[in-house]
């Protein structure tokens, strides 16, 4: 009898865990060109407070080349350029050199949005961005809401993302909220210049305001939040192999995450989708994905 009750208790806990995963809300905060050096130098009290109960890596490696489109694609597809085929910022579905290892029926490499929507049809997905080429490798049919904001602006998208998460709080949600203004400050003035640091600090203010709104609504307590980026920079550019370009911040907090503080274990941009999959309880992943779940992140 005791064994029976123990078994039922375990099954109940497993069922509760699976239900919690499938009701997960995940917000991805993407800041382009955000270097580890920039993180160490800028003042970002809201990010500090946000990830105080989570995990922060300042030694995460971008995939190579250390440029924008290959790396954001790697974040969202669990793979490197050698698998997904995006090797430069000018990639389009119609014109590219390296063929991907796997595609969906429309010719796109499988993204986390595809895996989530096919596994949990009730899940809602959104993609907010302000660099027009960013979305090219992602099949939009797996996105419920898409919004592009022009001229490096991002405040309207932050409001739209909030509205989307609140409207869909009864469903699992995956919200990708990206801004390129930090990268453009690096290109325009130079990485680690006062203008670049100011761009990071402006993003911190916007993130802080968004988090306070989520807390006031009550949805925040159930959320996992990630901070990711694509690459660092040196002088006014990037794409090389210097540590300034090849070392970036990566952070996460939420109900399933350890209060681990700063970690130094290996992490790569292509691991992000594996973390997302674990949060949502997704176990059937594309065979071509090559990332992994990093150590010291989950409870």
**CATH number, domain with residue 212:** 3.40.720.10
Full domain range(s) for residue 275: 24-280
The domain total for the chain is: 1
Report the pLDDT value the prediction gives residue 264, as an integer from 0 to 100. Answer: 95
Report the pLDDT value the prediction gives residue 23, as an integer from 0 to 100. Answer: 77
Is 137 part of any domain? yes
Task: Read off the pLDDT of residues 79-117 as tens digits, 9 standing for 90 and up.
Answer: 999 999 999 999 999 999 999 999 999 999 999 999 999
Helix, strand, coil fractions of the chain, as percent rounded to 5: 40, 15, 40
Is 7 part of any domain? no
Is 117 part of any domain? yes
Report the pLDDT value the prediction gives residue 275, as an integer from 0 to 100. Answer: 98
State how far the alpha carbon of 21 is from the alpha carbons of 116, 172, 271, 277, in Å. Answer: 12, 8, 19, 10
Task: Read off the pLDDT of residues 18-29 as tens digits, 9 standing for 90 and up.
Answer: 444 557 999 999
Report helix, strand or coil for 25.
strand
Report helix, strand or coil for 68.
helix
Contact 257, 61 (CB under 8 A): no
Task: Read off the pLDDT of residues 7-55 as tens digits, 9 standing for 90 and up.
Answer: 444 333 333 344 445 579 999 999 999 999 999 999 999 999 999 999 9
Is 287 part of any domain? no
Report the pLDDT value the prediction gives residue 21, as an integer from 0 to 100. Answer: 55
State how far the alpha carbon of 87 is from the alpha carbons of 94, 110, 183, in Å. Answer: 14, 16, 19
Is 138 part of any domain? yes
Element (H, E) at 178: strand 173-179
Is 77 part of any domain? yes
Exposure string over 105-119, b if 16+ CB within 10 A, otherwise e: eeebbbbbbbbbbeb
How far is 272 from 276, CA to CA, in rounded Å?
6
Is 2 part of any domain? no
**Which one-letter DSSP state was computed for residue 283?**
-
Residues 6+ apart with CB under 8 A from 243: none
Report the pLDDT value the prediction gives residue 22, as an integer from 0 to 100. Answer: 56
Is 241 part of any domain? yes
For the chain, how far is it from start to end, CA to CA, in angstroms? Answer: 31
């Amino acid at each position: 009898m005791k064994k029976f009750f123990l078994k039922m208790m375990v099954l109940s806990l497993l069922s509760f865990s699976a239900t919690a995963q499938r009701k997960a809300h995940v917000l991805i905060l993407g800041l382009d060109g955000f270097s580890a050096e920039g993180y160490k130098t800028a003042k970002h009290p809201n990010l500090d407070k946000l990830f105080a109960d989570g995990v922060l890596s300042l030694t995460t490696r971008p995939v190579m080349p250390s440029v924008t489109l290959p790396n954001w694609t790697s974040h969202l597809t669990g793979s490197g350029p050698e698998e997904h085929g995006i090797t430069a910022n000018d990639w389009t579905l119609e014109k590219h050199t390296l063929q991907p290892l796997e595609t969906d029926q429309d010719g796109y490499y499988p993204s986390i949005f595809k895996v989530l929507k096919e596994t949990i049809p009730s899940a809602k997905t959104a993609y907010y961005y302000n660099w027009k080429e960013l979305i090219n490798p992602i099949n939009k049919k797996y996105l419920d809401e898409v919004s592009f904001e022009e001229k490096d602006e991002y405040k309207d998208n932050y409001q739209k993302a909030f509205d989307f998460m609140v409207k869909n709080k009864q469903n699992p949600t995956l919200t990708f909220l990206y801004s390129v203004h930090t990268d453009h400050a690096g290109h325009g003035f130079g990485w680690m210049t006062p203008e670049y640091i100011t761009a990071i600090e402006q993003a911190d203010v916007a993130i802080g305001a968004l988090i306070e709104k989520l807390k006031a609504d009550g949805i925040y307590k159930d959320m996992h939040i990630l901070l990711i980026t694509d690459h660092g920079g040196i002088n006014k550019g990037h794409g090389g192999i210097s540590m300034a370009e090849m070392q970036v911040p990566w952070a996460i907090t939420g109900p399933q995450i350890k209060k681990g503080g700063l970690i130094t274990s290996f992490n790569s941009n292509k691991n992000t989708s594996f973390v997302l999959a674990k949060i949502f309880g997704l176990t059937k992943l594309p065979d071509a994905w090559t990332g992994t779940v990093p150590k010291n992140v989950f409870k």
